Amino acid sequence: MSKVDVLLGLQWGDEGKGKIVDVLTPGYDVIARFQGGPNAGHTLEFNGIKHVLHIIPSGIFHKDKLNVIGNGVLIEPAIFSEEVEALRQKEVEPTHNLYISKKAHLILPSHRLLDAANEQAKGNAKIGSTLKGIGPAYTDKIARTGIRVGDILEFDFREKYQLLKFQHLQIAKMLKFDVDSFRIGDMNLDEYEVKWMESLEVLRKFHLINSEYFINQCLKENKKVLAEGAQGSMLDIDFGSYPFVTSSSTITAGVCSGLGVAPSAIGRVMGITKAYCTRVGAGPFPTELFDQTGRRLCELGHEFGATTGRARRCGWIDIPALRYACMLNGVTDLIVTKPDVMNDFDEIKMCVHYNIGDKKTDEIPFEFNEVEIHPELVSFPGWKQELGEAGGYDQLPERLRTYLAAIEEKTGVRIMAVSVSPDRKDVIFK
């Protein structure tokens, strides 16, 4: 019996999960997403092609590998259908190697309306949601009013849909949201609904399965399964900087409920971190840089959201947050991405403790959003060298290796690989 390996983000998302999953896929038989939905944007690059995936797992470009969208994921059929079309344009036919859980919940157009209504009602306290309907759809799941993928095969689907939509419109009215002015792209709600309904036909062409049986059968047959996380540990619904979080379990625990595998079936847990730190949307970010260095990280790292195009906030790597994420996930292997972005930097800093008032702490405080955190920074000399031609790990510049060794030492987790460009070919295994 094999185990499920896990690959997930340790920061606030966008650590490079898509790229790394694509690189690791040849070593697996099945790649499975376990949570999140189209709020994710996972970028892959190879042969000069750049591709962004939102709901479909990042193993999809390997035609001989199976991909699974697990029960913990949210599917927005119209976005899904666009993703399928974009893959077909690149000569990938996903109906062949993508299975979808019947228990995955659907995002309705009116969930997206409610996302906008909720954000508007929050005013200055808004989360900076991607507005893909994530919060409202997970709300309905937990409230036991949601609609699942399997329901699209049932005769009373339309009835269920209309009832739920009616409830959403009532809530939007209560929130004093102007439904008539609401747009998704250039469409109003009614126009988008037509497109959404048509997209169900695309979804119906896929293998809709009880994915928990499928995954467990794969494990029984000793097949290798990789679970692909979305978002990051600091956006987790329980342990992230609540309420500035997403609405799912982004940590290893989410793999069990999002795929239907037992905790004892979890194998290696590979955690990804950038060599610095980014965050998109609102919420605390202790190491954020508001100066020229922050702007350089954003520019050189092309730190613009893969889903919304928003500029990402940038700052130094945050060891207390990273250690917290390693603890919550049981990380066995670290993967560090994007050190190449800092190739020209004279100096690189690392936050090793937080100072809150006159107290030094290594813990993420409960009052994370309220207190002023002064990061205690240590400085490393930059390596001032291109990394493109690097062969093995030992050939990386010594100053970069010193920086990486400090990350290992301070997290207590060994680094398994370092990524030095957006391209599939540039990953150096240790």
The binding site for ligand IMO (CB under 6 A) comprises 9, 12-14, 36, 39-42, 127-130, 132, 134-135, 230-232, 235, 246, 280-281, 306
Q: Are 70 and 258 in contact (CB under 8 A)?
A: yes
Number of residues that bind ligand GDP (CB under 6 A): 22
Q: Are 138 and 247 in contact (CB under 8 A)?
A: yes
Q: CA–CA separation, 315 vs 330, rounded Å?
A: 25
Q: Minimum distance from CB of 57 to Mg ion (Å)?
A: 14
- Smaller CB distance to Mg ion: residue 46 or 380? 46
- Smaller CB distance to ligand GDP: residue 193 or 228? 228
Q: Minimum distance from CB of 42 to ligand IMO (Å)?
A: 6
Catalytic residue among 5, 22, 42, 105: 42
Q: Minimum distance from CB of 41 to Mg ion (Å)?
A: 4
Which segment (103-111, 317-325, 334-342, 393-401) binds ligand GDP by CB under 6 A? Answer: 334-342
Torsion of CA 183, 188, 189, 193, to 10 degrees: -120
Tokens of 59: 């193993």
First to last CA, the chain: 27
**Residues 6+ positions from 352 with CB-CB distance below 8 Å:** 319, 320, 376, 377, 378, 410
- Residue 280 is classified by DSSP as -
Query: In the window 26-85, what residues touch ligand GDP (CB under 6 A)?
Result: 41-43, 45
Q: Minimum distance from CB of 308 to ligand IMO (Å)?
A: 7
Is 14 catalytic? The answer is yes
Which single residue brings its beta carbon nearest to ligand IMO? Answer: 281
**376 pairs with which residues across the strands?**
353
The yes or no reply on residue 41 touching Mg ion (CB under 5 A) is yes
The yes or no reply on residue 16 touching Mg ion (CB under 5 A) is no
The yes or no reply on residue 14 touching Mg ion (CB under 5 A) is yes
Q: Are 110 and 189 in contact (CB under 8 A)?
A: yes
Which segment (10-18, 48-56, 94-102, 257-265) binds Mg ion by CB under 5 A? Answer: 10-18
16 touches which of ligand IMO, ligand GDP, Mg ion, none (CB within 5 to 8 A by kind)?
Answer: ligand GDP
- Smaller CB distance to ligand IMO: residue 65 or 274? 274
Among 5, 6, 11, 14, binds ligand GDP (CB under 6 A): 14
Helix (H/G/I), strand (E/B), else coil: 307: coil
Pairing of strands 333-337, 347-356: unpaired
Q: What is the Cα 65 distance to its own chain's centre?
A: 21
Query: In the window 385-424, what residues touch ligand GDP (CB under 6 A)?
Result: 419-422
Helix (H/G/I), strand (E/B), else coil: 15: coil
Catalytic residue among 5, 14, 22, 140: 14
421 touches which of ligand IMO, Mg ion, ligand GDP, none (CB within 5 to 8 A by kind)?
Answer: ligand GDP
Torsion-angle region of residue 338: left (phi > 0), alpha (psi -120 to 50) or beta? Answer: left
Q: Which of 12, 4, 104, 8 is nearest to 312 (CA)?
A: 12
Question: How would you class 373 by CB atoms within 10 Å of its CB: exposed for 0-12, middle for 13-18, buried for 19 or more?
Answer: buried
Which single residue brings its beta carbon nearest to ligand GDP? Answer: 43
Q: Minimum distance from CB of 247 to ligand IMO (Å)?
A: 6
Which segment (38-46, 209-217, 290-298, 383-391) binds Mg ion by CB under 5 A? Answer: 38-46
Is 42 catalytic? The answer is yes
Site string for Mg ion, 385-414 (x = CB under 5 A): ------------------------------
Is the four-CA dihedral 144, 6, 280, 59 of positive or negative sign? negative
Tokens of 3: 């185990």
Q: CA–CA separation, 234 vs 279, rounded Å?
A: 10
Q: Minimum distance from CB of 10 to ligand IMO (Å)?
A: 11
Residues with catalytic function: 14, 42
Q: Which residues bind ligand GDP (CB under 6 A)?
A: 9, 13-19, 41-43, 45, 302, 306, 337-338, 340-341, 419-422
